[in-house]
Amino acid sequence: MFHISRSYRIFSILNIVFLALLSITCIAPLLHILAVSFSAAPAANANLVKFWPIDFTVASWALTLENESFLRALGMGFYRTALGTVISLAITVLAAYALSKEDHEFKGRKIYIFYFVFIMLFNGGLIPTYILIQNLGMINTIWALVLPGAVNVFNLILLLNFFRTSVPKSLDEAALMDGAGHFRILFTIYVPISLPAMATIALFTMVGQWNSWFDGLIYLTDSAKYPLSTFLQTLIVQKDFSQMNINPDEISMLSQRAVQSAQIFIGSLPILLVYPFLQRYFVKGIVLGSVKE
């Protein structure tokens, strides 16, 4: 029987305690925001709320969920995240498949990889990028939010290495001998085997798209088209209810902090709900995709 040493047990206990404390520090801000959102105006404005609501009320949530501006921004956030994730994942899978081939199968492969690594380290800058988006006619459109960042080089390298290390070369060769084309090989062999890596990339992309606010601020001229992150950023920085179109009589009866807390919590909720479904793929995708052959 395997004997567990005393030092190993001590290390395991300390590791569990450390991770538990780290988890608490991550969860505590979210619990505080949730408690503020359910608290009455006097307690929220006086900053008396910690991790439990004071004078429990759902007025801030009701106002938020009934507001057309917030719901429109929430819908735009979902639309932007779904569209951006699908486009980014499709491009990444196609590029990673081609770059995972050997040099004799894809001539110039190393040149393309060098190009991708180079643009990961250096870019044209904010102003040239804005001018390019403007000249392409994408200002104030959803394409300005999803196309410029569609190729994430980190995700591309992750999936490329996964293809090279996890997909048996014999399957590829057997499929070619049977007359299968590259698209059939990709979608019948590579994609099913690479679900852990693809789920990891999809999670990274979804989080990035959902949380991105700056591009919406500079590329969208119509505030009605703001995704939720941009909407919340303008609302919280301005510290008023101008984006919410709320009656002044309602403002005096509610806490601005409570309403903003409700909005922030709702904004973080979709990612919190999606993550558990992809968690079982997450670790495997990261570990296998980061191992270079």
pLDDT value, residue 290: 46
CA–CA gap between residue 82 and residue 282 (Å, rounded): 19
CA–CA gap between residue 113 and residue 191 (Å, rounded): 21
DSSP label at residue 189: I
pLDDT value, residue 82: 93
Residue 83: pLDDT band (50, 70, 90) is very high
pLDDT(167) > 80? no
Mean pLDDT for 82-100 is 91
DSSP label at residue 190: I
Report the percentage of the chain scoring pLDDT > 70: 87
pLDDT(84) > 90? yes
Q: Tell me the pLDDT of the chain averaged across its residues.
A: 81
pLDDT(63) > 90? no
173, 102 Cβ separation under 8 angstroms: no
Alpha helices by DSSP H, listed for 139-194, are 143-146, 153-166, 169-177, 182-185, 191-193
**Tokens representing residue 200 in the block:** 């990891």
Q: Between the CA of residue 99 and those of 103, 159, 193, 291, what are the distances in Å?
A: 9, 10, 17, 16
CA–CA gap between residue 260 and residue 108 (Å, rounded): 52
Task: Residue 268: name the closest of 211, 214, 216, 220 by CA.
Answer: 211
Q: Which domains does the chain have, with CATH numbers?
A: 58-289 (1.10.3720.10)
Which segment of 56-60, 216-220, 256-260, 262-266 scores lowest on mean pLDDT? Answer: 256-260
pLDDT(38) > 60? yes
pLDDT tens-place string over residues 39-49: 877 777 777 77
pLDDT value, residue 163: 84
Query: What 3-state DSSP class applies to 21?
Result: helix
Q: Output the CA torsion 87→145→277→200 (10° steps).
A: 60
pLDDT value, residue 289: 46
pLDDT value, residue 246: 57
